């Protein structure tokens, strides 16, 4: 009888711990959603976000623009929106010119819709940073690593001016919160603005086109 009581007591303890854990996780998610709602207010007027202007001419990104991007975004994580000023037929014309594209690169999927938002993306992983991902999108390096990763590779085919709007989470957030909050915000923004390129959904980052 005593052994049965002892066993029941242990089960009760584990049950109690399980409920406490569940409550803690739920509370954490509620706090995260509150934080997301607060941060999403900043996206309602995109011009209020931080912005970097990029010029691409003759298949090269302006060095001063790259320097500014590096200075602002090195080792930073967050969400970015790449914006253009062209009409759809101009984007169609530039992107469809296969002579400018490189065969060893995987270009982001063209959604065949019109938006002044070319792409919405994010960086939240342990080794994922905004400056390196954006250099990839810009095709800023002649010998760029991870050429098998889907990206815009813009300097291969795009000519003109771009704006990169970005949001970086507050420094006080812990790593776990950042890893949850950043993809959540990316998903909501991508759904809202319907970018011309790329798959929607941060959960498919490894396969994202």
Portion of the chain with pLDDT greater than 70, in percent? 80
CA separation for the pair 39, 20 (Å, rounded): 29
Q: What is the mean pLDDT of residues 94-101?
A: 85
pLDDT band at residue 199 under the 50/70/90 scheme: confident
- What pLDDT was estimated at residue 11? 62
CA-nearest of 121, 45, 52, 115 to 84 is 115
Q: What is the dihedral of CA 39, 45, 47, 50, to 10 degrees?
A: 0
Q: Give bridge partners of residue 121 from the DSSP assignment.
A: 80
Cβ atoms of 209 and 199 closer than 8 Å: yes
Q: What is the mean pLDDT of residues 36-60?
A: 89
- What pLDDT was estimated at residue 147? 63
Residue 151 has pLDDT above 90, yes or no: yes
Which residue bears the tokens 């771009």?
A: 162
pLDDT band at residue 170 under the 50/70/90 scheme: confident
Cβ atoms of 50 and 167 closer than 8 Å: yes
How many degrees, rounded to 5, is the angle at CA 134 between CA 191 and CA 182? 45
- What pLDDT was estimated at residue 162? 97
Per-domain boundaries in the chain: 46-207
Residue 56 has pLDDT above 70, yes or no: yes
| 173: three-class secondary structure by DSSP | coil
Residue 146 has pLDDT above 70, yes or no: no
CA separation for the pair 76, 106 (Å, rounded): 25
Residue 66 token pair = 């790259």
Which residue bears the tokens 């009760």?
A: 12
pLDDT, tens only, 4-14: 444 455 666 55
CA separation for the pair 50, 76 (Å, rounded): 13
Residue 84 token pair = 């253009």
Cβ atoms of 157 and 95 closer than 8 Å: yes
Please tell me which of 9-18, 76-85, 137-146, 170-179 the model is most confident about, judged by mean pLDDT. 76-85
């Amino acid at each position: 009888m005593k052994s049965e009581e002892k066993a029941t007591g242990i089960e009760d303890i584990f049950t109690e711990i399980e409920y406490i854990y569940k409550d803690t996780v739920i509370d954490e998610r509620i706090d995260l959603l509150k934080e997301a709602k607060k941060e999403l207010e900043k996206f309602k007027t995109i011009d209020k976000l931080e912005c970097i202007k990029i010029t691409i001419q003759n298949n090269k990104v302006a060095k001063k623009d790259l320097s500014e991007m590096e200075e602002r975004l090195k080792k930073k994580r967050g969400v970015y929106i790449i914006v253009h000023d062209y009409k759809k037929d101009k984007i169609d014309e530039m992107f469809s010119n296969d002579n400018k594209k490189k065969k060893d690169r995987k270009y982001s999927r063209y959604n065949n819709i019109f938006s002044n938002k070319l792409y919405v993306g994010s960086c939240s992983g342990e080794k994922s940073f905004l400056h390196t991902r954006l250099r990839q999108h810009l095709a800023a390096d002649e010998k760029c690593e991870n050429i098998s990763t889907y990206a815009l590779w813009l300097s291969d085919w795009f000519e003109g001016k771009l704006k990169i709007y970005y949001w970086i989470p507050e420094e006080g957030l812990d790593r776990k919160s950042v890893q949850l909050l950043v993809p959540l915000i990316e998903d909501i923004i991508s759904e809202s603005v319907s970018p011309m390129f790329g798959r929607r959904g941060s959960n498919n980052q490894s396969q994202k086109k």
